[in-house]
Chains A and B, each alone.
Chain A
Amino acid sequence: MTIPHEHTDQRLACRVVERMASGDTAALGDLYDAHARYLYSLALRMLRDASDAEEIVQEVFTQAWRQAARYDEARATVIGWLLMIARTRSLDRLRAREARPDRTVANPVPDLPSEAPGQEAEALSGEAVQRLRTALQQLGDALRTPIELAYYEGLSQSAIAKRLDQPLGTVKTRMRTALSQLRELLLHPEGA
């Protein structure tokens, strides 16, 4: 898999997590400096409340500090690991806030079988993220909205169909099409 990435960032981030696992308190500050703005922005986007978003950031770093020794770089990049925690906790808070029955339980993507080829986690470069940002804008509302409702609000495909008043099959197709298009632009730009 030819993926644009910055090995350096991910390697540095891994060393920071190793230092946390060995009890280096300064490493926690390093991790905050490198990633807190992404976590805060995500929580703010999901919860629309600065105070709640700050508490999510606090919870993420508390959990990361406690579980640093369990971080496995073969399974996720450091930023991916932190964002996953932030999203899961934000979804929990959204559900507690709204107690809506049509929202599915969050399913953090489980560990993939370790023998799968090409699964090593690599951080995306700033250039790749920018390319994704442009691609998201160019998708158009019809394709972008279902994946945003799924990611940022944790809605199932059925709940999205209900929210958008669209047939379930349409939502399924659009979600798959959107992610596939983004994948091609992000991971295989030479063929796009």
Chain B
Amino acid sequence: MSLRGHEAVAQLAAPYALGVLPANERQVFVSHLTTCVECRREVAELSRVVEAMPQTLDQAALPPSLKARVLAAALSTDTARRHAIGEQRVVIASRWVAWLAAAASLAAVVFGAFAWNGRTETARLRTQLAVAQQREAALDRQIGALEDSAGHTRQTAAILRAGDLGRVELVGQAGAPGASGRVLWSASQGLVFVATNLPPLPPGRVYQLWVVADKPLSAGIVVPDSAGRLTVINSEPVAARPKAFALTIEPEGGRSSPTGPMLLVGSNE
């Protein structure tokens, strides 16, 4: 490329590093980068500046409850890794279990604080421990499958035996006219939710179940099993007087209040 041609393309480095180069120019610049060491160095250095920019912002105070919510959401949507890693197997089935895991993580964080503050030897040992845990994953997985199954059975039995057991039929809405669902709920024991004939989820989306009292409260993120069935067993106490239950589609990780299309709804009044 001529010097003049190079200069023209090199001007694209700044908007490229800032991530705002339109697609056509971006294609030209990326192609140029494969052959130009000078521009690669330029982009690498400008990208360091861009990466550092948000670190110069005044730091906002984190909401105190955010950490628990973040950990619960991240761990409760972990559907793929639970099959690969034994330690995750207990986390998935219900939000309640996920909250337990989050609480365990918080405790571990407290005890691990010194490691983060510079004790690299501790960090190294923890890494070794993680590797050892991974090696045990296969055995854990087998035991975990049995425990999960038994645990769900116990949870379900406790809910279905509850003296205050209520039942609500959920009806498919416009986006899922053939779908149906049922919630068996107890104010003290939690709820069991099942549904069938729901449309497939778009990529990056999950189903989320809501208990509607004064406002909708999440009753858990729902992932279909391999046969496409939905089952939620949630041991969290249900609002004493739920007005309705509903199922929506939400972005991965779920939402604190419904934002997506409602597929099922059933009134308790």
Contacts and interface: CB of A to CB of B under 8 A. Distances in A.
Q: What size tier do the contact residues of chain B reach?
A: 35 or more
A181 B62 CA distance: 32
Q: Is the interface of A mostly helix, strand, loop or mixed?
A: helix
Contacts of A106: 19-20
B1 interface: no
A23 B75 CA distance: 10
B252 interface: yes
B112 A26 contact: yes
Interface in A75-115: 76-77, 79-80, 83-84, 87, 104-110, 112-113
Contact of A117 (B41, B47, B112): B41
A118 B56 contact: no
B67 A23 contact: no
Given A25-B105, A41-B59, A175-B14, A55 B74 contact: no
Q: Is the interface of B mostly helix, strand, loop or mixed?
A: helix
Contact of A108 (B11, B19, B69, B74): B19
Contacts of A87: 19, 54
Given A23-B87, A41-B58, A58 B20 contact: no
Contacts of A179: 14, 17-18, 46, 49-50
A157 interface: yes
Contacts of A150: 15, 18-20
Contact of A151 (B53, B73, B87): B53
Contact of A25 (B18, B37, B101): B101
Q: What size tier do the contact residues of chain A reach?
A: 35 or more
B185 to A, nearest CB: 26
B26 A112 contact: no
A132 B73 contact: no
A169 B253 CA distance: 43
A24 B87 CA distance: 7
A22 B20 contact: no
Interface in A143-174: 147, 150-151, 154-158, 172
Contacts of A119: 40, 44
Interface of B: 11, 13-23, 26, 30, 33-34, 37, 40-41, 43-60, 62-63, 66-67, 69-71, 73-75, 77-78, 80-81, 84-88, 91, 101, 104-106, 108-109, 112-113, 115-116, 118, 120, 123-124, 126-127, 130-131, 133-134, 137, 251-253, 255-256
Given A23-B137, A117-B37, 19 more contacts: A8-B118, A15-B127, A18-B127, A19-B126, A25-B91, A32-B67, A33-B113, A40-B66, A45-B54, A64-B74, A66-B74, A104-B22, A106-B19, A107-B23, A116-B41, A118-B41, A179-B14, A180-B46, A187-B45
Interface of A: 1, 3, 8, 11-12, 15-16, 18-19, 22-30, 32-34, 36-38, 40-42, 44-45, 50-51, 53-55, 57-59, 61-66, 76-77, 79-80, 83-84, 87, 104-110, 112-113, 116-119, 124, 128-129, 132-133, 136, 147, 150-151, 154-158, 172, 175-176, 179-180, 182-183, 186-187
